[in-house]
A and B are shown apart, each in its own frame.
Chain A
Amino acid sequence: MQLTGENLACVRGGRQVFSRLSFSVSRGEALVVTGRNGVGKSSLLRCIAGLVRLAGGQLKLDGAERETSVGEQAHYLGHQDAAKPSLTVRENLSFWSQYLGAGVAAIEAALEAVDLAPLAGLPAGYLSAGQRRRLSIARLVAAPRPLWLLDEPTSALDVQSQARLAELMRGHLASGGMIVAAAHGPIGLDNPRELKMGLE
């Protein structure tokens, strides 16, 4: 399985964010996107997820099991956590797991993996920023999808949680998954490939 982008271009709000951007990620590989603020890292991730229309270029996911769009094969971990304050942690997670087509079988294991099991019955409105972030990460574990798109995944996480996330990412890569992450610092992977944006 391989994700390739060729000559990608993105225009948002009438401004050219990036153009002629090419990259590829194969199974088991991680690509870390770096660059200054506003250079288009988040836009690139949202383009791959299908949440922003590409202004040019081609995006392909070869070798996928099903004939689906890239977005339907991907998890997107953005700046917002998509957690409803009035639903409990478990209800939030089980909804997304069911919506993303995975059922509820892996819910408890996923809560365990991000260390939220003791808080499973608490409404998500009472969670701290870091805990909400971990609830988002639990979604990636509960509903397996081959491509993870992570936008500054370590923000708001404490040191222990960062280590746990790194472990989850390594597990995902070892099982043949792919990761594209936007980050400003190390995200805990051994030697990911790097895509530097904004160097033209």
Chain B
Amino acid sequence: MSAFTALILRDIRLAIRVGGGALMGALFFLIVVTMMPFAIGPDLNLLARIGPAILWLGALLASLLALDRLFVTDHEDGSLDLLMMGDMPLELAVAAKAIAHWLTTALPLVVITPVLGLMLNIEIDGMGALALTLLTGTPALTFIGLTGAALSVALRRGGLLLAVLVLPLTIPVLIFGVAAANAAIVGPAPFGPPFTILCALSLASLVLGPVAAAAALRHGLE
């Protein structure tokens, strides 16, 4: 097994064992989305109109929830030192960690989205498209957040700093994600253009995120 897959498997294992945070994101997502109809009221048309935005905001906050621990635990127990001494470039190592984080945190969100869509009066037809936008958009959120997670280790500041640094950078993803979902559910704009841009944002962050995160970790060497 290559070092890359070994690292992905280790992080997945850590997340699903006792003390790991695998389902915390999905639970948080569930709570946030469940609260919305209570706050907004039983206006079904209104819920259907803002449903995609609520689901996207919930997913955005939930996927950032556990991200600040991504490197901090490895830093605290000395694992990060050894990760930096591997044969594999640090960029690939942080990418492996991000993939494991996406699989354990963001993928469950995508899976439960159709169920939550029901609560927001989103039509069954639009549900598939909405889940598809989350499936393609959440990698961008994870990989943008990766840089923030690395910075929070390098700068020795955790928690809130991550949200302050990362959330502004995720605005384009949010805009095009919600635009694509709305196009599929409410119309009349076509689904294609915003969805393609969303894919482009994900692909770009897949490349840039690990490079920036590795640079941040190297800069924090001390």
Binding site for B on A (CB under 8 A): 12-13, 46, 49-53, 68, 71-72, 74-76, 78-87, 91, 95-96, 98-101, 103-104
Contact = CB atoms under 8 A, between A and B. Distances in A.
A76 B85 contact: yes
A92 B79 CA distance: 11
Contacts of B222: 12-13, 52-53
A79 B81 contact: no
Given A86-B18, A86-B20, 7 more contacts: A50-B84, A68-B87, A71-B84, A81-B78, A99-B83, A100-B3, A100-B87
Question: What bracket does the count of chain B residues touching chain A fall in?
Answer: 20 to 34
A79 B78 contact: yes
Interface of B: 1-3, 6-7, 9-10, 13-14, 17-20, 76-79, 81-88, 221-222
Please indicate which of the listed interface residues B10, B13, B19 has the most CB atoms of chain A within 10 Å of its own CB: B10
29 contacts: A12-B222, A13-B222, A49-B81, A50-B85, A52-B222, A71-B85, A72-B86, A76-B81, A79-B78, A80-B76, A80-B77, A80-B78, A82-B77, A82-B82, A84-B10, A84-B77, A84-B79, A86-B17, A87-B10, A91-B10, A95-B7, A95-B9, A99-B3, A99-B83, A99-B86, A100-B3, A100-B86, A101-B87, A104-B1
Nearest to B93: A99
A82 B83 CA distance: 10
A142 B17 CA distance: 25
Contacts of B87: 68, 72, 100-101
